[in-house]
Amino acid sequence: MRLTTKGRFAVTAMLDLALRQDNGPVTLAGVAERQRISLSYLEQLFGKLRRQELVASVRGPGGGYCLARDARNISVAQIITAVDEPLDATQCGGKENCLDEHRCMTHDLWSSLSRRMYDYLDSVNLHELMVQQRDKTTHRVVVHDHSARPGVSEMVRVQL
Amino acid sequence: MRLTTKGRFAVTAMLDLALRQDNGPVTLAGVAERQRISLSYLEQLFGKLRRQELVASVRGPGGGYCLARDARNISVAQIITAVDEPLDATQCGGKENCLDEHRCMTHDLWSSLSRRMYDYLDSVNLHELMVQQRDKTTHRVVVHDHSARPGVSEMVRVQL
DNA sequence: ATAAAGTCGACTGAATTGATCGGGAATTGG
DNA sequence: CCAATTCCCGATCAATTCAGTCGACTTTAT
């Protein structure tokens, strides 16, 4: 699983969509303007998201995109893997041609690690992000954490 | 935080190093051959790892690289961020020039999400990977001591 | 002195990123 | 029906990153 700004764009756009789909389909032009992402680029991303059946499209005036399922049922991992090319990552791609003493340590290690990464991102869904974002914009309740780790902090309390 | 094959190479090479440093410094030529990574490319990666003080070098015959500290004290996150360019990620980079109604949803969302990713990778250290790899190659038993992550609802709650 | 090893900088081809453009097809409102 | 709106698709592009290569250099053990 790759993690770049491309996936970030997709997650951001999906969140914008999720927060606004109550008033019917959301146009890409709107998302592009609000999130400052190129419209044509968004079209490419949403082409993939639609083919992965994460969103559904409505053509014509008044059209746009909606989530294809409940926000609770769309994970961040699904969004990212939908738009990112599948990072092959193993040079011995299943062929086991790395017959040295370690017998493909690379493959074992990375598949395990990337599996754990995926599991984590798969445990975060769109609905949680919506709640988190609503809390921020409406109540502006931001909890700063200055306790444990010095240097990096500023965490936000997520309401459940 | 970016996640590509570059970081994977670095983690793999560091693990190879960790598993062999008992017999003194490990040469990059050895790592390159065992892990099938270009020597010159490894040199670039280890240049960064050395400048980040994750490894120490010994020049001359019999030289090579050693870990700069205990394997328990080197996290996967440290390795990856050492070799990857810092992914800027925010188009409103601190400048807050995204003054629309959402007021920089992008920044808040992604910094929170990427922070959680970093925390996770920072919780995995080289020593764990060594144990896991040793178990695999000798007993072929996979240890999942880390898997007791809480469920979805608990995951959202950011540690305070 | 020689050889083994790290160090450094420049360079390269391929892929990916993010964006632009032009031309469609579907559908709605008038 | 017609025109505007919106999704859809393909080609193309500059910039960046990836992964690797090369050549020259420094340090040090024998």
pLDDT tens, position by position, A32-91: 998 889 999 999 999 999 999 999 999 999 999 999 999 999 999 999 999 987 765 555
pTM of the model: 0.78
CB A4 within 8 A of CB B87: yes
Angle between helices B126-138 and A105-122 (to 10 degrees): 130
A90 conformational bin, left if phi > 0, alpha if psi -120 to 50, beta if neither? beta
Asked whether the predicted pLDDT for residue B69 surpasses 90, the reply is yes
Report the distance separating Cα A9 and Cα A44, nearest Å. 11
Asked whether the predicted pLDDT for residue B159 surpasses 80, the reply is no
Closest Cα in chain B to A37:
B91
Asked whether the predicted pLDDT for residue B152 surpasses 60, the reply is no
3-state secondary structure of A69: coil
| Nucleotide with C1' nearest the B88 CA | D16
Task: Please give the C-alpha separations between residue B107 and each of A151, B4, B60, B94, in angstroms, as whole numbers.
Answer: 18, 22, 48, 8
Q: What is the pLDDT of residue A146?
A: 41
Closest Cα in chain B to A14:
B106
| Interchain contact, B102 vs A3, CB within 8 Å | no
Q: How far apart are the first and last CA of chain B?
A: 22
Q: Which nucleotides of D are covered by protein (CB under 7 A)?
A: 4-11, 17-23, 26-30
Asked whether the predicted pLDDT for residue A21 surpasses 90, the reply is yes
Cβ-Cβ contacts under 8 Å, A137 against chain B = 102-103, 105
CB-closest option in B35, B89, B108 to A106: B35
Query: Residue A78 CA to C24 C1' — how many Å?
Result: 30
Query: Residue A63 CA to C29 C1' — how many Å?
Result: 13
